[in-house]
Chains A and B, each alone.
Chain A
């Protein structure tokens, strides 16, 4: 369908070496976009993502950067603009966890998660705004989380960051709407990735019982929502959060 076609568009996906980020990068490439694959540490995994994109006949480039550092994000965007000539779609997906109960959570554990998961999104929005404003179009999609809406014991830092992403998304959407740049968020529920594989089996089983659709989600199901927000199909939507969580939050 033409509305979902991304041919001729370029995208940058942060944290695209594995999990949801890789699924997003591949889905955008399937729709026709050239994709820059950001990673922080997993070089081999990022190379796999690049291979998957190139197998679809699209251009891909991998760029190492810590999204929590503004200068690194700016350099990355400059590199993307130099390689692709423009940047149409930014997906702020990179995220980390440092789970602990509040009583035991160290200051560094709180700060690290805020820096990557919240400040990283801010850094990304700021870094792409100039070129998107100039071209009078752009799509920014931020990955939040169902726990940002519900709260979760043991994840105060992660939840604070993911709830922050929703507020940041709304502010950016209001600031940039007049320049035809839309900013939306996707809030995944429990999705089968390395991040959730770490959970013990009994916890997972209990989780599945709390999901109305009765199962853990797949990365591709998040990528589909991101593709919608990156494409013309969502042209009249901004500042929204799509909850893709099997019905956990409604």
Chain B
């Protein structure tokens, strides 16, 4: 968990310019971390590259929080 979580956290911090402490598992990208829809698309693209997997548009739409992304990556990587 921790390794994936740390890598996701690093990318979210870089991409959205938020504080590390804000990137909790429950944090919602749009509501808590100030991401707009383009930011989310970009995050997905970057996570795909980082973890070398493909997140379908359908799945990407369902992911709203940091924890959900981490779970998704762990179950698909």
Residues of chain A touching chain B, judged by Cβ–Cβ distance below 8 Å, are 130, 133-134, 175, 178-179
Contact = CB atoms under 8 A, between A and B. Distances in A.
A179 B42 CA distance: 10
A179 B36 CA distance: 12
Contacts of A134: 45
A178 B36 CA distance: 11
A130 B38 contact: no
B38 A179 contact: yes
Interface string B26-38: 0000000000101
A147 B71 CA distance: 53
Nearest to A129: B41
Nearest to B45: A130
A134 B49 CA distance: 12
A202 to B, nearest CB: 52
B45 A178 contact: no
8 contacts: A130-B45, A133-B42, A133-B45, A134-B45, A175-B38, A178-B36, A178-B38, A179-B38
Given A130-B45, A178-B36, A178-B38, 5 more contacts: A133-B42, A133-B45, A134-B45, A175-B38, A179-B38
Contacts of A133: 42, 45
Interface of B: 36, 38, 42, 45
Contacts, number: 8
A178 B15 CA distance: 13
A54 to B, nearest CB: 34
A178 B38 CA distance: 9
A249 B76 CA distance: 55
Contacts of B36: 178
Nearest to A178: B38
A112 B45 CA distance: 32
Counting from the closest, the 3 A-B pairs by CB-CB distance are A133-B42, A130-B45, A178-B38
Contacts of A130: 45
Contacts of B45: 130, 133-134
A135 to B, nearest CB: 12
B44 to A, nearest CB: 11
Nearest to A133: B42
A243 B38 CA distance: 31
A130 B36 CA distance: 16
A133 B42 CA distance: 8
Nearest to B37: A175
A55 to B, nearest CB: 38
B13 to A, nearest CB: 17
Contacts of A175: 38
A8 to B, nearest CB: 24
A219 B36 CA distance: 41
A171 B50 CA distance: 30
A134 B45 CA distance: 9
Contacts of B42: 133
B53 to A, nearest CB: 16
A35 B45 CA distance: 27
